[in-house]
Every structure is written in structure tokens, then in C-alpha cells.
A = this chain, B = another copy of it.
Amino acid sequence: MKEIAAFEVGIKLGALFHQFVGMPVSLKNAEILEKAMKSCIMLQPYVAGAEVRIDRKRLSEKLSEFNYCSLEGDMIYARVEVEVEGIKAIGVLRWDDEKKYPMMSLVTE
């Protein structure tokens, strides 16, 4: 069961990243995008909780001349909690500046 819960939370993080990277984002619509992303995670099987945040500082640094940019990996933080037959697993997506990589990790509370 622990493995299945871990597998399921992995699916959710991989899906989130690859579905939404590339979206036009600015300070104006970041909040609605966070809500939309969270709503998509919450529909998926076994999800017990989700949090999605777009880093406003990174976003501000990447704004184009047109005052928005594409959502990129270094702007996204997500935490997803799944529960499979009473067994929980929590996964986190967080940009790692040193690795230059959107690290996804299983976390223990």
C-alpha cells in the first residue's frame, strides 16, 4: 500500500508540471492559475489535499516586455497528499537552484 500511495502521488506531480508549464502568467492571473491547478489535482484519484503556489518574485523577474511570461519550473511549488486505503503519501515539487531542476520528493511529515 505504501508503494501504491507513493506511485499515485508521483503521478499527480508529474501531471501537474507537464500540463501547466507554458501557461501565460502574470501577477494579475497567478492566483486564478493556482486555483485552477489545485482544482485539477483535487479531481484525481486518492487525492486528499493539494497546495500550489506560483513564486511571484521569480515571475516578476521573468516578465517579458508584454508584462507576462510562460509558467516555468522555477516558479512552481506544489504539495500533494494522497491516501490509499488509509495509507498516506505526501509529495512536494520545488525548484532546486543548485541542480537547476524541478525536484519532486516524497516527504515524511
User: Lowest 5 CB-CB distances: which A-B pairs, in order?
Assistant: A10-B10, A14-B14, A36-B36, A14-B15, A29-B39
Most B CB contacts (10 A, CB to CB) among A11, A25, A62 go to: A11
Q: CB within 8 A of A11: which of B14, B28, B33?
A: B14
Interface size on A, residues (CB 8 A): 57
Among A27-46, those with CB < 8 Å from B are 28-29, 32-33, 35-36, 39-45
Contact present for B21 and A70 (CB under 8 Å): yes
6 CB-based A-B contacts, threshold 8 Å:
A3-B3, A14-B16, A22-B22, A33-B40, A65-B100, A70-B72
Please give, as numbers and ranges, the residues of chain B lying within 8 Å of A39 by CB-CB distance: 28-29, 32-33
